[in-house]
Structure 1
Amino acid sequence: MSVELLSPAGNFQKLKSAIDFGADAVYLSGKSFGLRAQAGNFSLEEMDEAFKYLHSKGKKGYVTVNIYARNYDFKDLKNYLHELKEINPDGIIISDLGIFKLIRDEKIDIPVHISTQANTTNYYAINMWKELGAKRVVLARELSRDEIREVCENTDMEIEVFVHGAMCISHSGRCVLSNYMTKRDANRGECTHPCRWNYYLMEETRPGEYFPIFEDERGTYIYNSKDLCLLRYIGDLIDMGVKSFKIEGRMKSIMYVSVVTGVYRKVIDDLSAGRTPDYEYLQNLLNSVSNREYTTGFYTGFADETSMNYKTSSYVRNTDFLGVVKESDGGKVIFECKGKINSGETLHILDKNLVEQEIIFDKILDLNGERVEFTKPNRDYILDCGINFQKGSLIRRYKV
């Protein structure tokens, strides 16, 4: 059975990076009705262009319409669904049964995928979604390996599983903390991530006296989950019959999308060819991009205290993202700069095959051919290094 690697696309540039590094499909959102309202997202015109690009590459794209809708949403939703119909995405990802009914009533002939937000945890529910006309179900992230296997043995529905990225303390992300504390509704794409904040205890008869849960002056991050990483279990999931492997991260950087997509692409390709992946090298690449440390979540059993990061809500960032190769010929590399580079620095360039080379940036030129001592972000430069690199390769600085 062929499997799909599904990557996040918070904007068009991230979409192209995901495809460059091996994604079979991406998921994206319009400006409304998705659960990542703070991502760049796509206007209808941009979405139309994106799907033309994807289909020209033989790739697929799915649009998230996975809010839990209120009554007042449906008028605009109806218009939006008809606009999506003209754009012709390969699927619509939904959570809300009312939105599903609207899709059917309006005869929107686009395959429906059931979001992880629907919290589907058993094959009876999956088979019910099939009877209603859905094509795919994205399983809840609370399921163990044995539960996923049992699901796959008892349905012929397409099954999608999250294999990498941020976890939520709530059931499949349906959290009310954000709504309660900040009046921003997580189920409408406006989550402020209060699960990442630090908290103290206060005894009710001693108002204003705050006690750290552990002896740490910063408090502790009691809700702060580590990131999911099922890198070493992809072979298991393929054998079970899982159709699609999903990477979380529409709000993450181009470097994150590229590296994580490339790593899972490599694992899938190696396993398909009967090769043993170099898990240590690939894990180190995953460690090089932003993360909150890693956990297998519920996959290998019940998540426990080892699945939480009690030290900080901040990301671990082991590399700086400094540029993307745009062209390379005759040993000269034209790159789009994403951060300051000083002449003479030793940096790394990672290509789409996940081969990384150390390069000394001692001959940096502007587009007029004039040598520069340092670069400025959001400008193009030329590196005269005598080596050609693939378009889309990443320029990075490892932190000491």
Structure 2
Amino acid sequence: MRTITKKPEVLAPAGTLEKLKTAIHYGADAVYIGGDAYGLRSRAGNFSFDEMREGVAFAKERHAKVYVAANMVTHEGDADGAGEFFRTLRDIGIHAVIVSDPALIEICATESPGLPIHLSTQASATNYETLEFWREEGLERVVLAREVGMEEVQAIREKTSVEIEAFIHGAMCISYSGRCVLSNHMSQRDANRGGCSQSCRWKYDLFDMPYAGEHRSLVGGETEEPFSMSAVDMSMIHHIPELVENGIDSLKIEGRMKSIHYVSTVSNVYRQAIDTYCADPDNYVFNQEWEDELWKVAQRELSTGFYYGVPTEDEQLFGKRRKIPVYGFIGQVLSYDEETQIATIQQRNNFGVGDEVEFYGPGFTHFTQTVDVLWNEDEEVIDRAPNAMMIVKTKVAAPVKPFDMMRKKK
């Protein structure tokens, strides 16, 4: 008989305050966000201190936690003001900071005592001795490098008591633990200081250039990508038992720059899978609907990354790709009238009468229907909702709640 000693935390990305609230509403135990400085996502919707206060209050009311990523590699002068930044996070009530640079770790530990520190995946922790080193330095948790395999996770867990966090879903980086200089060379944007232009995701070709200014492809007319440095995404939805049994404390979803459609869907799926397994591990059965749901927000093909061996060419994006069903996020439910069965919806993308749409919500509830009537804010009958963020009403086939989402297949 299997015994679950600890249910792991579902840790979701939150690039904005809206995404933070969405992630928690859809089952995340914790979220990680970025501040206005010291992070690696300068183009994400990073949080002001006032937004952090609102996010922390929202999370605490729902027994969830908020972590702040401050995982940049600091050059001379980059750490100026870090002590005040960390003290402010502590006073706001942030539950922990995620850091990779020893300078920032030292500043946080000495100038903001009481603020827990988690080691970022950027620090490439791949063995238990490293985890023990950081535990002795006072860190509560280590985010493993994404290159760590499942057998290594088991060995690490057996030899250290420090909390372990590991990525289980989302984009993979082609460089070791995300430490890359491609962006620096190709677009003068420092990936390790928050400016990554994702050069590895660009399309590449092989050219013959016999004369100045002439570019002639040696591949010739190929529509697929013949060359790539781009990795497929990770998904560990089939391996929840191994993740839980090997003692990982926090299961991390990548994607601070992803939409609320992505955040809600992925958080919802992993919440269901983990709760189902932990409730009755001996009789756990994988639900194919979980994987089907993840494909609705997938941008690339999926693999298990490094967990079960070193990725091969099959885990790279080149040549003919598998066709991925594309769903568009079209609206969010604001309210529902039980008597009339009419939902008030904030439009996010164009939809109208005759479209087949899917509603889904927390707890893995969802249903499909055809839109047969639509009203605008003035109660006027309309055929379509073409304007961004407009408020519309429609009759729904089943009860819905605020925060429920609408999508349709493209």
Asked if residue 348 in structure 1 is aligned to residue 371 in structure 2, the reply is no
1:350 Cα deviation after fit = 1.2
What does residue 338 of structure 1 align with? 348
Q: Secondary structure at the match of 1:73?
A: coil
Distance 1:206 1:299 in 2: 47
Asked if residue 100 in structure 1 is aligned to residue 108 in structure 2, the reply is no
The 1:97/1:43 distance shift into structure 2, 3 A limit, reads same
For residue 389 of structure 2, what is the amino acid of its counterpart? N
Distance 1:64 1:213 in 2: 42
What does residue 180 of structure 1 align with? 185
For residue 40 of structure 2, what is the amino acid of its counterpart? L
Q: Secondary structure at the match of 1:79?
A: helix
What does residue 37 of structure 1 align with? 42
- Give matches, 1:203-218, under 5 Å: 208-212=214-218, 216=222
Asked if residue 81 in structure 1 is aligned to residue 86 in structure 2, the reply is yes
How many residues in Structure 1 have an aligned counterpart in Structure 2?
A: 399
Q: Secondary structure at the match of 1:5?
A: strand
Contact preservation (8 Å) 1:223, 1:308: yes
Q: Secondary structure at the match of 2:80?
A: helix
For residue 366 of structure 1, what is the amino acid of its counterpart? N
Contact preservation (8 Å) 2:31, 2:67: yes
Asked if residue 147 in structure 1 is aligned to residue 157 in structure 2, the reply is no
1:74 Cα deviation after fit = 2.1
Asked if residue 267 in structure 1 is aligned to residue 273 in structure 2, the reply is yes
- Give matches, 1:364-375, under 5 Å: 364-375=374-385
1:355 Cα deviation after fit = 2.5
Distance 1:225 1:177 in 2: 15
Q: Which of 46, 50, 59 is the equivalent residue of 2:55?
A: 50
For residue 371 of structure 2, what is the amino acid of its counterpart? F
Q: Which of 368, 372, 381 is the equivalent residue of 1:362?
A: 372
For residue 387 of structure 1, what is the amino acid of its counterpart? A
Asked if residue 250 in structure 1 is aligned to residue 260 in structure 2, the reply is no
For residue 39 of structure 1, what is the amino acid of its counterpart? A
Asked if residue 380 in structure 1 is aligned to residue 391 in structure 2, the reply is yes
What does residue 71 of structure 2 align with? 66
The C-alpha deviation readout for 1:201-243, integer Å capped at 9, x for no partner, is 3569777555456972565342110000111111101101110
1:327 Cα deviation after fit = 1.1
What does residue 390 of structure 1 align with? 401
What does residue 331 of structure 2 align with? 323
For residue 139 of structure 2, what is the amino acid of its counterpart? A
Distance 1:168 1:214 in 2: 29
Contact preservation (8 Å) 1:196, 1:221: no
What does residue 313 of structure 2 align with? 305
For residue 333 of structure 2, what is the amino acid of its counterpart? V
What does residue 230 of structure 1 align with? 236
Distance 1:66 1:300 in 2: 27
Q: Secondary structure at the match of 1:364?
A: coil
What does residue 300 of structure 2 align with? 292
Q: Which of 196, 202, 205 is the equivalent residue of 1:191?
A: 196
Percentage of matched positions with identical amino acids? 34
For residue 116 of structure 1, what is the amino acid of its counterpart? T
For residue 329 of structure 1, what is the amino acid of its counterpart? D
1:102 Cα deviation after fit = 0.7
- Once the two structures are overlaid, the 10-residue window that deviates more, 166-175 or 278-287, is 278-287
Contact preservation (8 Å) 1:290, 1:315: no
Distance 2:203 2:287 in 1: 33
Contact preservation (8 Å) 1:160, 1:246: yes
The 1:310/1:253 distance shift into structure 2, 3 A limit, reads same
Where structure 1 has 5 or more consecutive residues not aligned to the other structure, the ranges are none
Q: Secondary structure at the match of 1:72?
A: coil
Distance 1:223 1:315 in 2: 20
What does residue 131 of structure 2 align with? 126
TM-score, with structure 1 as normaliser = 0.95
- Once the two structures are overlaid, the 10-residue window that deviates more, 274-283 or 172-181, is 274-283
Where structure 2 has 5 or more consecutive residues not aligned to the other structure, the ranges are 1-5
TM-score, with structure 2 as normaliser = 0.92
The 1:212/1:134 distance shift into structure 2, 3 A limit, reads farther
1:382 Cα deviation after fit = 1.2
- RMSD (Å) for aligned C-alpha atoms: 2.0
